[in-house]
């Protein structure tokens, strides 16, 4: 069996739709809930990094949690690419 996530305990939460390099923010379309404080793993063809979500925005408004269908902005220190998968670690 092929495992797409980095580890079996990781659960997919969304996909990167945009990356804004000038402000270091990735936009993620959520397929599951996500909250500030959650640890996520971003993985793609050339992307592989983890971070703790320390702030999240929807339409430039700070939020503490978001759910399926929401598009959120998350500040990152590394480059994310559209199509990268986001997993809860």
- Domain total of the chain: 1
Cα–Cα distance, 41 to 23 (Å, whole number): 20
Partnered with residue 4 across adjacent β-strands are none
pTM of this prediction exceeds 0.85: yes
Q: Is residue 4 part of a domain?
A: no
**Does any domain span residue 3?**
no
pLDDT recorded at residue 37: 98
Show the tokens assigned to 43.
């993985």
Q: What is the pLDDT averaged over residues 10-15?
A: 96
Domain-located, residue 5: no
Residue 70 resides in a domain: yes
Mean pLDDT of the chain: 93
Asked if residue 29 belongs to a domain, the reply is yes
**CATH at 46:** 2.40.30.10
What does the DSSP 8-state code read for residue 62? E
The pLDDT of residue 10: 92
Residue 2's pLDDT band (cuts 50, 70, 90): very low
Whether 36 is in a domain gets the answer yes
Domain that holds residue 57: 13-88
Is 2 within the bounds of a domain? no
pLDDT single digits (tens) 58-80: 999 999 999 999 999 999 999 99
């Amino acid at each position: 069996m092929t495992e797409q996530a980095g580890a079996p305990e990781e659960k997919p939460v969304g996909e990167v739709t945009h990356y804004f390099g000038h402000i270091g923010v990735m936009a993620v379309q959520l397929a599951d809930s996500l909250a500030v404080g959650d640890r996520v793993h971003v993985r793609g063809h050339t992307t592989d990094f983890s971070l703790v979500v320390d702030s999240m925005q929807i339409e430039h408004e700070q939020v503490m949690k978001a759910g399926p269908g929401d598009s959120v902005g998350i500040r990152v220190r590394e480059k994310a690419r559209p199509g990268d998968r986001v997993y809860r670690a």
